[in-house]
Amino acid sequence: MSINSVRPWRDIHRRQSRKIRVGPVEVGGDAPISVQTMTNTLTSDVAATIAHVQACAEAGADIVRVSCPDRDSTVALKEIVKAAEVPIVADIHFHYKRAIEAAEAGAACLRINPGNIGSAERVREVIKAARDHGCSIRIGVNAGSLEKHLLEKYGEPCPDAMVESGLEHMRILQDNDFHEFKISVKASDVFLAAAAYQQLAETCDAPIHLGITEAGGLLSGTVKSAIGLGNLLWMGIGDTIRVSLSADPVEEVKVGYEILKSLGLRHRGVTIISCPTCARQGFDVIRTVQELEERLVHIHTPISVSIIGCVVNGPGEALMTDIGFTGGGAGSGMVYLAGKQDHKMDNAGMVDHIVELVEKRAAEIEAANAASQAAE
């Protein structure tokens, strides 16, 4: 039995949404929930932005967004798109010309609210550019920047106002027979965001981009995002996610993946099950886990590893993981493979040994996957 085994009590029934594309990445329907982030380099600094996109992609980002506040940025975008191994979303606010330039530069998606573009003619021009260049659109409603007429109608940002804003933007696209869009209704308040997303999910079949906006620093923002996004994802809501942290965007990607991995919605890389440690630990669990996390970052194949300080919980956890180590006495512990006791190992050489075992197992899984794909 593996931690990834399917069990009825861990099933999440995803909301049925339409499927759209962000470049080669499918969003919605039965597509895997994608993880996004956003660069924070100056977009006009092509080399720095390409390096940043690459770092995010290596961390697992499926889609990366870049801001396009000026003409220099949309000029740079062309080079960035060409070099990027993941699709690029151009973040545009208000300026219709930037949106057209971004579509022409090869952006896979425009993050723009059609209601904020201006005249109907400008809207048509942007939609035409998106259509001509195979660009999808993300409508991004944010509680902090709701339209004046909705704030006047509702008195304050609330789920009704946010969803109404989203529906208004959506209608403009639909009236122009454009349906390649996804939508977000973000707020920094978890309750507000969750209520708005739930309401939105019942109102339309558009793919949903989830986010708790301006969630905070690495620790507080991670907790907030895990609560907000985690609950929505558990309800089956959400087709793509972005964790917003005041931290390196690479951290956003890692946190996004960990949220999805915790819910069994994506499986990527090594998942370490480890105990909180106490006086019974037979080796330094905390240091070992830190070392393994650093040394196994290059593994993308889903593998579970249990690192448990003693026999109280070690054998039980090892039963549910691909590779396990449980502390024993006299400077050594027991290695488990596929849930079964396999051999003893000295604590001193254990990290190197676990890394080798994981790399070997990853290579076996990848070879088996390649063989089954070749047979299809």
Binding footprint of ligand SF4 on the chain (CB under 6 A): 275-278, 280-281, 308-310, 312-313
SS3 for the chain is: CCCCCCCHHHCCCCCCCCCEEECCEEECCCCCCEEEEECCCCCCCHHHHHHHHHHHHHCCCCEEEEECCCHHHHHHHHHHHHHCCCCEEEECCCCHHHHHHHHHCCCCEEECCHHHCCCHHHHHHHHHHHHHCCCEEEEEEEHHHCCHHHHHHHCCCCHHHHHHHHHHHHHHHHHCCCCCEEEEEEECCHHHHHHHHHHHHHHCCCCEEECECCCCCHHHHHHHHHHHHHHHHHCCCCCEEECCCCCCHHHHHHHHHHHHHHCCCCCCCEEEEECCCCCCCCCCHHHHHHHHHHHCCCCCCCEEEEEECCCCCHHHHHHCCCEEEEECCCCEEEEEECCEEEEEEECCCHHHHHHHHHHHHHHHHHHHHHHHHHHC
**In this structure, are residues 362 and 344 in contact, taking their beta carbons and an 8 Å threshold?**
no
Q: Which is nearer to ligand SF4, 17 or 326 (CB)?
A: 326
The distance of closest approach from Cβ of residue 326 to ligand SF4 in the complex, given in angstroms and rounded to an integer, is 8
Q: Which is nearer to ligand SF4, 231 or 313 (CB)?
A: 313
Q: Which is nearer to ligand SF4, 87 or 309 (CB)?
A: 309
Q: Which is nearer to ligand SF4, 146 or 318 (CB)?
A: 318
Q: Which is nearer to ligand SF4, 149 or 344 (CB)?
A: 344
Residues 6+ apart with CB under 8 A from 166: 139, 141, 183, 185, 200, 204
Q: Which is nearer to ligand SF4, 312 or 319 (CB)?
A: 312
The distance of closest approach from Cβ of residue 140 to ligand SF4 in the complex, given in angstroms and rounded to an integer, is 44
The distance of closest approach from Cβ of residue 266 to ligand SF4 in the complex, given in angstroms and rounded to an integer, is 27
How far apart are alpha carbons 349 and 334 in whole angstroms? 13
Q: Which is nearer to ligand SF4, 142 or 326 (CB)?
A: 326
The distance of closest approach from Cβ of residue 313 to ligand SF4 in the complex, given in angstroms and rounded to an integer, is 4
> Which residue from 150, 140, 136, 217 is spatially nearest to 180, judged by alpha carbons?
136
Pairing of strands 303-308, 270-274: parallel
The structure tokens listed for 166 are 């989203």
Q: Which is nearer to ligand SF4, 68 or 310 (CB)?
A: 310
The distance of closest approach from Cβ of residue 332 to ligand SF4 in the complex, given in angstroms and rounded to an integer, is 15
Q: Which is nearer to ligand SF4, 76 or 289 (CB)?
A: 289
Q: Which is nearer to ligand SF4, 280 or 360 (CB)?
A: 280
The distance of closest approach from Cβ of residue 276 to ligand SF4 in the complex, given in angstroms and rounded to an integer, is 5
The distance of closest approach from Cβ of residue 338 to ligand SF4 in the complex, given in angstroms and rounded to an integer, is 21
The distance of closest approach from Cβ of residue 223 to ligand SF4 in the complex, given in angstroms and rounded to an integer, is 22
The distance of closest approach from Cβ of residue 269 to ligand SF4 in the complex, given in angstroms and rounded to an integer, is 23
SS3 for 350-365 is: HHHHHHHHHHHHHHHH
**Residue with nearest beta carbon to ligand SF4:** 309
The distance of closest approach from Cβ of residue 342 to ligand SF4 in the complex, given in angstroms and rounded to an integer, is 19
